[in-house]
Amino acid sequence: MSRGLGRLLTVLAGVLALLALAGPASAHVGGEAAASDFDGRVVAVTPELPGVTVRVLQFGDELELVNTSDTEVLVPGYSGEPYLRIGPDGVWRNTHAPATYINLDRYGRTALPAHADPDAAPEWEQVSTRPEYVWHDHRTHWMSEGVLPRQVAADPTREHVVSEWVVPVRHGATEGEIAGVLTWSPPPSAWLMWPVVAGLLSLTVAAGLLARTPRPLGAVLAVGAAAALWHAVATPAPPVTAGSHAGAIVSALLPGLATLLCAGVGVRAALRGRGAMTGLLAVVTGWLLLVQGLPDVDVLWSANVASAGPEILARAAVTVLATLGAGLVIGGIAAVRRFREADAEPTGADAGHRVPVA
């Protein structure tokens, strides 16, 4: 086995090991949605509840409540029935509350069991030992699947307030409420991206198909690696219900690190004029870019983006991941076919040079 092939196999083994640890790749911890035209946010918690923090997740689809105080928080269901208790001894959910079952489906289509009765005495089951919980709440999002809100349908060219919602809570003996708003914003035109996509794809394919040396392909690998790294670093904070926050973040970062490793070896191969190896690593790197970018392509035509960084950079990163990913797979295959690296150095006038073969 040649030394170069041995190095390539080592890189590929490392990539596979990283991906096995990471599981299915996604920029968003838990594989959650990357973008939406709707967006929900908490406006106020009144009165102020010491030790209680509330956050809207998934563009209004879920509520996250963390209670670090010594006093329990009670969250009622849609008929005012006791639904959740969140406090020092964990989270308890009422099995008789209709909300327990209605919240299982985003559109509330779950059939209620016979024992679901808002007037029945609560029967509590513990669902977490931690004083924090994330649940799907129908008060915070738009409930009609495939149908736009009336005001949005009347004028989809501007932002609209869809609803102002309230979720009541009780902190010990203190009655309070979580107030929020759900908005809809017009998405950007997808057509604005197509010239950029076409240009990037053409340049990437040309780097493998037409360039006389592998260096242009190496440059594309470097750009793809930078996009993958940013895409990973800008992963939003996971929900509190993630088993391990650090583990969830590391799992999301692993595909980006695998891409960085593969692209780095590919750039080195390109600088050394090893065209076939550069092409092979371009194919693997392109596949890794596609795995990270394709699940998030809706950020290109949605108004709101889930990212810890600026939205424009999130859109740019996904554009590069998806476009350069496809281009590197095609261009890498072309480069492997064009560049044949001999096991021994050529002799005579061409000694010390790699010869591309069309």
pLDDT tens digits for range 162-205? 999 999 999 999 999 999 999 999 998 877 788 999 999 999 99
pLDDT at 30 over 50: no
What is the pLDDT averaged over residues 147-166?
Answer: 95
CA torsion 29-34-40-44 (nearest 10°) is: 40
Q: Do 174 and 232 belong to one domain?
A: no
The pLDDT > 90 percentage for the chain reads 69
**Mean predicted lDDT score pLDDT of the chain:** 86
Total count of domains within the chain: 2
Confidence of residue 279 (pLDDT cuts 50, 70, 90): very high
Give the distance, in angstroms, between the CA of residue 120 and the centroid of all CA atoms in the same chain.
Answer: 41
pLDDT at 319 over 80: yes
Q: Do 247 and 224 belong to one domain?
A: yes
In a domain, 224, yes or no: yes
In a domain, 357, yes or no: no
Which of 184, 202, 219 terminates a domain? The answer is 184
pLDDT of residue 44: 96
Higher-pLDDT residue of 245, 49:
49
Q: Do 288 and 340 belong to one domain?
A: yes
Could you tell me which residues come within 8 angstroms of residue 35 by beta carbon, excluding any fewer than 6 positions away? Answer: 296, 298, 299, 302, 303, 304, 305, 306
pLDDT of residue 242: 65
Higher-pLDDT residue of 307, 125:
125
Confidence of residue 245 (pLDDT cuts 50, 70, 90): low
Cβ burial of 217 (10 Å; 0-12, 13-18, 19+) is: buried
In a domain, 139, yes or no: yes
In a domain, 43, yes or no: yes
In a domain, 205, yes or no: yes
In a domain, 358, yes or no: no
Q: Do 156 and 234 belong to one domain?
A: no
pLDDT of residue 25: 42
CA pair distance 242, 248, nearest whole angstrom = 7
Which of 122, 150, 184 terminates a domain? The answer is 184
Q: Do 232 and 134 belong to one domain?
A: no
Q: 133: domain range? A: 38-184
Q: Do 246 and 135 belong to one domain?
A: no
pLDDT at 31 over 70: no
pLDDT of residue 136: 92
Q: Do 138 and 237 belong to one domain?
A: no
Q: Do 111 and 51 belong to one domain?
A: yes
**Pair 166, 139: CB distance under 8 Å:** yes
Q: Do 196 and 216 belong to one domain?
A: yes
Three-class secondary structure of residue 337 per DSSP: helix
Three-class secondary structure of residue 227 per DSSP: helix
In a domain, 73, yes or no: yes
Q: Do 179 and 282 belong to one domain?
A: no
Q: Do 255 and 335 belong to one domain?
A: yes
Phi then psi dihedrals of residue 160, to 5 deg: -135, 145
Q: Do 202 and 125 belong to one domain?
A: no
pLDDT at 358 over 60: no
From 139-148, 319-328, 349-358, the region with the lowest mean pLDDT: 349-358
Which of 154, 184, 214 terminates a domain? The answer is 184
What is the pLDDT averaged over residues 288-303?
Answer: 92
In a domain, 355, yes or no: no
pLDDT at 29 over 50: no
